[in-house]
Amino acid sequence: ETGVTQSPTHLIKTRGQQVTLRCSSQSGHNTVSWYQQALGQGPQFIFQYYREEENGRGNFPPRFSGLQFPNYSSELNVNALELDDSALYLCASSLSGGHQETQYFGPGTRLLVL
Amino acid sequence: KQEVTQIPAALSVPEGENLVLNCSFTDSAIYNLQWFRQDPGKGLTSLLLIQSSQREQTSGRLNASLDKSSGRSTLYIAASQPGDSATYLCAVGLGDYKLSFGAGTTVTVRA
């Protein structure tokens, strides 16, 4: 069974640029959630995708957008990067997004915005 | 708005001592509570998931309890080892499927 994978592992961008982060869900999982974790804080929910549709969104501006593909992999896109976007971005997958399910997290992408 | 708090923020214990980590949440309308471990710069590893109808879950040296009415959960780690050094995060599962996390407790187990 393949776990959740994310790419790239690290990324450096400058203010105003755009970035795309990628996530492959665990085999058999059709739900992917994205979280932002600033240094020293707990992860904050960005949004969730279930079967290619957005299924909930946290308190993040529209410049944070996402996609889920037919194979249930997912992308997180951030436009007009700001310094405060520097963080560890985590994706998590679960079997079908049900409340009784464990969410499995990937290793994260560390984004630094200069 | 659900607030999740973990106290203390950091903890240092000698090897062999039992660890007690606390998590509190403000809204008892949760679906579940999950404990995670995070090593420096890494992703999260799920340790235990407690459904809202359950009182506790156990896995090896780990035991987690849940008291929804008082908004509290406790993670016990028996006979701590240096390999247990990490940050431990609790997260509550909400009706809109998202997890709301605490800031974590960073544990150091001294050899």
Structure tokens given for A92: 């998590």
Mean pLDDT to the nearest integer, B56-64: 97
* Under 8 Å between Cβ of A30 and A50: yes
A27 pLDDT exceeds 90? no
| Mean of per-residue pLDDT scores for chain A | 92
pLDDT-wise least confident of A46-55, A72-81, B6-15, B52-61: A46-55
Cβ contact (<8 Å) for B97 and A33? yes
C-beta atoms surrounding A68 within 10 Å: 22
Cβ contact (<8 Å) for B43 and A40? no
Cβ contact (<8 Å) for B32 and A108? no
A6 contacts in chain B (CB < 8 Å): 43
| Mean of per-residue pLDDT scores for chain B | 94
In this structure, is the dihedral angle defined by the CA atoms of residues B20, B23, B28 and B34, taken in order, positive or negative?
negative
pLDDT at A62: 96
A107 contacts in chain B (CB < 8 Å): 42-43
Cβ contact (<8 Å) for A103 and B104? no
Residue A99 at interface with chain B, using a CB cutoff of 8 Å? yes
Closest residue in chain A to residue B5, using alpha carbons only: A42
A2 pLDDT exceeds 70? no
How far apart (Å, rounded) are the C-alpha atoms in residues A111 and A85?
A: 8
pLDDT at A55: 87
pLDDT at A26: 87
Q: Which of A66, A86, A81 is nearest to A25 (CA)?
A: A66
